[in-house]
A and B are shown apart, each in its own frame.
Chain A
Amino acid sequence: MSPLSQVSIDLLPEVARRLNLALLCRSNESAFILMQEPPEWFGQIFGNGNDNGEFHLEQVSIFLESFLVDAANHWASERPEPLKSGVWHEFDKHDREHYLEATSLYVSGHCILIVESLGHDYEVRVQLFQKARNFVLQNQSLDYELQKNDVLLHFLSGELAPSMQRVSRMLADGKAAGGLNAEALSELSKQVAKQDILLDTFLRGFSSEIVAMQHVSRDYSSAPDITEVIRTLVKSELESFISRSVGLSMDSTVPSNESTKVVSHRGRLEKVVGSLMHFTLRRAPEGASVNIQVHSHGEDWILTEIHESVASLGQEGEAIFDHLLTEEPMVRRAALSLYFCKLTIDRWGGEIGYRHAGDSGCWWFRLRRVKASTP
């Protein structure tokens, strides 16, 4: 043996120990013996072995029990490259947490298992992952805000574009005619004022909707009771419906001992139901009727249905919440209020839709029920 080899044999166990490595060799199917004096942490986690100095690691560590199945296959294959377990957390007898990684190696007919305590290296790795993931989360959050703003801008441009085109046409006509006459000037200033009001209304509306959406009541004491909200609305809107010869009624199939309180915000919920009722009323012919029903939908949901004897939308209406932007200005304006209904219901974790059946139609939405015992 060369002097260098002798030095290696003498020093390697200590080198391994200082590198926080515990080197083990498989002595039989399930037992391992240490190849050096192990680092301190090893004994604090895995003990001192049995009287023969053997360690049954699978009995101490659930993680190793699993990894040793892969390691056994790896050793059986006699592949030269190492197999790593990945990092796992283990507690020692003093309840201190250690971050370990195991490696299986097949060397000259021996099945070697190395267990390493990662210590500071692991902490650096975690910090890196933490930073990267925080950035991804921030990025996702910004993306979401941008999407919301895109939708608003789309609506605004859809509303403003036709009027702006009219204004610019008038200016072009005026220029071609050698100047604007008093009548054209008056019409022009009317159009501009109209746009000013429209834009102001939009921005105020959007701002208050966004503020309202931030408030949600989910505890029993403050969550609104949808049956009560609808009853109040039916009472206050009944006259409008009667004046247009449209019937309005409400029913509830929810047993009186069950809660119909829903995760929402009272003012906003009134606005959602009110918007749907007005949408229905505007399109209802004389003699039609509207019936609002409240149902339990499983234990956790309350379903509200607004049945129209004459459908306000055709078959294509079933996709209205998927395609709220249309070319026709009146529909687009109505769609804006439906858009806010959808946005609000979505934010409360509910669902909204429209279905068409023969001549009749039904707006529906479901919201999570708040039970008395809900935390």
Chain B
Amino acid sequence: MQQRKVCLIGSFAVGKTSLLQRFVFSRFADKYLTTVGVKIDRKIVPTSRGSVSLILWDLAGEDEFQSLQTAYLRGSAGFVVVIDCTRNETMQQARAHLEFLDEEFPNAAKTIFVNKVDLENAWDLEQQELSSLEKLHPVHRTSAKTGANVEEAFHDLAEAMG
């Protein structure tokens, strides 16, 4: 079976760990527990080319206390850049990550998860900025809490990784 490494990156508290918990274990915890270091999970997903084993790297969120260790990204076939729809600054961080990834990993598949869409009434993203990102990379609106679009978004990425 084919294996593909996928890294989830983004600012802290955007829901990377929750997305993986939802995708891999179908569960969700409301309490925010920060990730320090790396957690790795696996999930087999069916694609048009047969089943693919996704090796999912949940990297600690980036902030002034902790920066992204680029060595972790080596060998990734796909990247999920996660944005919190209630915090516009997480989109700025995502843009910077995507620019870096496009330069360093031009052949890897990249996708954007706009997470926490269950909190749509607290939406804080500038639509123009989001639309400009949407022109460059696929955008999925997800909710780790309700599970909305999570499965579909990872499947789309698995297909895109070829």
Binding site for B on A (CB under 8 A): 62-63, 66-67, 69-70, 86-89, 99, 101, 122, 125-126, 129-130, 132-134, 136-137, 140, 144, 213-216, 218, 263, 300, 346-351, 368, 374-375
Contacts and interface: CB of A to CB of B under 8 A. Distances in A.
Given A62-B55, A132-B65, A136-B63, A126 B122 contact: no
Contacts of B12: 133, 136
A351 B134 CA distance: 14
Interface stretch (B22-30, B36-44, B153-161): B36-44
Interface stretch (B67-75, B91-99, B103-111): B67-75
Given A66-B75, A216-B121, A374-B148, A129 B36 contact: yes
12 contacts: A62-B40, A63-B40, A66-B74, A67-B71, A99-B37, A129-B66, A133-B12, A347-B123, A348-B120, A374-B148, A375-B146, A375-B148
A134 B12 CA distance: 10
Contacts of B125: 349
Interface in B75-121: 75, 85, 87, 89, 117-118, 120-121
A69 B33 CA distance: 30
Contacts of A125: 36
Interface of B: 12-13, 32-34, 36-40, 55, 61, 63, 65-66, 69, 71-72, 74-75, 85, 87, 89, 117-118, 120-125, 127-128, 131, 141, 146-148
B120 A89 contact: no
Contacts, number: 87
A130 B40 contact: no
Given A87-B37, A133-B32, A137-B32, 17 more contacts: A63-B38, A66-B71, A66-B75, A67-B71, A86-B69, A87-B36, A88-B38, A89-B40, A126-B34, A130-B33, A132-B65, A216-B121, A218-B118, A263-B120, A347-B122, A349-B85, A368-B120
B72 A66 contact: yes
Contacts of A140: 87, 89
A147 to B, nearest CB: 10
B37 A88 contact: yes
Contacts of A349: 85, 117, 120, 123, 125
Contacts of B120: 216, 218, 263, 347-349, 368
Contacts of B65: 129, 132-133
A351 B147 CA distance: 24
A207 B135 CA distance: 38
B55 to A, nearest CB: 6
Contacts of B141: 300
A129 B71 contact: no
Given A133-B13, A218-B120, A348-B120, A89 B38 contact: yes
A122 B36 contact: yes
A87 B123 contact: no
Nearest to B149: A375
A214 B75 CA distance: 44
Contacts of A348: 120-121, 123
Given A349-B85, A349-B120, A375-B147, A86 B38 contact: yes
Contact of B37 (A86, A263, A351): A86
A375 to B, nearest CB: 5
Nearest to A143: B89
A87 B13 CA distance: 18
Contact of B40 (A88, A213, A368): A88
Max chain B C-beta neighbours (<10 A), residue from A99, A374, A375: A375
Nearest to B33: A130
Contact of A137 (B13, B118, B147): B13
B121 A130 contact: no
B74 A89 contact: no
Contacts of B37: 86-89, 99, 101, 122
Nearest to A126: B36
Top 3 nearest A-B pairs (CB, nearest first) are: A87-B37, A351-B127, A349-B123
B32 A134 contact: yes
B38 A130 contact: no
Max chain A C-beta neighbours (<10 A), residue from B36, B87, B125: B36
A144 B124 contact: yes
B63 A133 contact: yes
Given A99-B37, A129-B34, A374-B148, A214 B87 contact: no
A158 B75 CA distance: 57
A89 B75 contact: no
A134 B155 CA distance: 32
B146 A130 contact: no
Contact of A89 (B39, B85, B89): B39
A348 B141 CA distance: 13
Contacts of B146: 375
Nearest to B71: A70
Given A140-B87, A263-B120, A86 B72 contact: yes
Given A218-B120, A374-B148, A375-B148, A130 B34 contact: yes
